[in-house]
Amino acid sequence: MLKVAITGPESTGKSTLAEQLAQHYNTVWVPEYARTYVGNLNRPYTLQDIEAIARGQWELEQQAMQQANTILFADTDMLVLKIWSQHAFGECPAWISEKLMLQDYNLCLLMGVDLPWEPDPQREHPHMRQFFFDWYKRELEAMQVPFVEITGQQQERFAMAQQHVNSLLPKSN
């Protein structure tokens, strides 16, 4: 099974692209667990919450792999949770770091920051998207995982992502 992670800063179209790709390839996608978790909190999130979110995300992905049809798209990954926890709290729980090293995506789609910011109560850093994009890119390069940058407006992003996913298909058969 091919596994594709969609990663990058907030408000870059990760969820939209994950859903579009899953529909196109007739498979499932793993939604962002943090949306529901944080949405149900009646207090500010903590470092322990980020670890709980990571565990929930990991579990969602394990469940989705049982339902996926040849390809699995993940709306987020452990890198998102590592960067979030390091930025918010100056540290990353060991469990997240361990799972990050175990990720085995065939491709990571790093979402560019050229889409307009869409306000959302769960989004925190509208003026730091380039800062975060650069951080994601450095981390992906250091981890030596296969990744491509996805830019443009929604349809351009979808076409670019589709092209890169298609390039993996012959290798997996």
Question: Domain of 71: which CATH number?
Answer: 3.40.50.300
Q: What is the pLDDT of residue 5?
A: 97
The chain-wide mean pLDDT, for the chain, equals 94
pLDDT digits (tens, 9 = 90+) for 36-68: 999 999 999 999 999 999 999 999 999 999 999
Neighbouring residues of 56: CB distance < 8 A, sequence distance ≥ 6: 33, 37
Please give the pLDDT value at position 62: 95
pLDDT for 125 equals 86
Check pLDDT > 60 for residue 71. Answer: yes
Which of the 8 DSSP states describes residue 107?
E
pLDDT of residue 98: 97
Alpha carbon distance 9, 28 (integer Å):
22
Q: What DSSP designation does 113 have? A: S
Q: Read off the pTM.
A: 0.93
Contact 160, 152 (CB under 8 A): yes
Q: pLDDT at residue 171 above 80? A: no
pLDDT at 16: 95
Q: What is the pLDDT of residues 85-108, one digit of tens each?
A: 999 999 999 999 999 999 999 999
CB contact set of 19 (below 8 Å; sequence gap of 6+): 29
Domain count across the chain: 1
71 lies in which domain range? Answer: 2-172
